[in-house]
Structure 1
């Protein structure tokens, strides 16, 4: 079945949220405790995207991937901002999430290539992203796509778990 990429619309956001939660649980359960992944619920994640969308849609882009008319993944790109300072030369790949059954089918790669094209078309020369340090699968995926750690690290929360993250970068 053919994979189709398109820009998200407001009617996609509830389904995006539910997919986002399923993707997080599947990807992060090998290294995060179940209670960290129990919240937010898929419904709450849909509400999160629904509330976020109006404020960011002017300078962010969400692309959804569909197979046979069914949402199977999404990417989200926007400005590269660190500690309140926007880097005008860079854009950030803020998310790629897939239905767990889409792993290994080329969907993530298609979304990444599309995101890189979008950031390049915005006039940026560099792309960044944050990845969970313990997410070896995602780190290998990005490294195969030409991304490398740039030395910056931070901690963030997923549920109540404090999670170390690494920043990756690549030229566009």
Structure 2
């Protein structure tokens, strides 16, 4: 494999992060999301979203590169209370030390080269450095590749489910949780 690295994203990376998101969602989530929802996503709006996220101190946005080419990214930070609520509606005892992996995407053509693991490892390092002890993420129930990735690092569904409205199409997601002490293989 060529030289691979993970670094903090900067404002100038917003366009590439938007490109990666749109490309990945269109190829990997084309069967999970309705075509109308995918078609409404624009490069300009997505780029603006990521520019704001990069400039927001409460979130960490990381970019994976291979041979100097951007191939994936992730974002996360402290989990909002609304994200940590248990399936029964109560808050877990550790709610104040839970992180949220809000996004982790690697372009499919760059998949299975360790980029996802490196991105998540660097993000969990950041979460740990900020006093967080475990993390959560939401994965579409039918996204087998992402489920396998997270289960491979020891994260499991915790029984909490939500259904999002994707332009009139219900998208059922499972919440996964796991420790922030990851080991790169």
TM normalised by structure 2 equals: 0.84
Query: Residues 44 and 166 of structure 1: is their aligned pair in 2 closer, same or farther, counting only changes over 3 Å?
Result: same
Structure 1 unaligned segments of length 5 or more: list them: none
Contact kept, 8 Å, 1:154 with 1:164, in 2: the verdict is yes
Q: Which runs of 5+ in 2 are unaligned?
A: 86-94, 181-185
Asked whether 1:164 is paired with 2:172, we answer yes
Return the alpha-carbon distance in structure 2 between the equivalents of residues 35 and 74 of structure 1.
Answer: 24
* Contact 2:78 2:132 survives alignment (8 Å): no
Pairs aligned (count): 170
Q: Distance in 2 between matches of 1:119 and 1:52?
A: 16
Query: Residue 63 of structure 1: CA displacement?
Result: 0.6
Aligned pairs for 1:14-163 within 5 A = 14-54=15-55, 57-83=56-82, 87-163=95-171
Structure 2 CA distance for partners of 1:68 and 1:158, relative to 1, 3 Å: farther
TM-score normalised to structure 1 length: 0.89
TM-superposition CA deviations, 1:17-39 (whole Å, max 9, x none):
11111111122123333333222
C-alpha separation in 2, matches of 1:160 and 1:11 = 34
Task: Give the 4+ runs in structure 1 shifted more than 4 A.
Answer: none
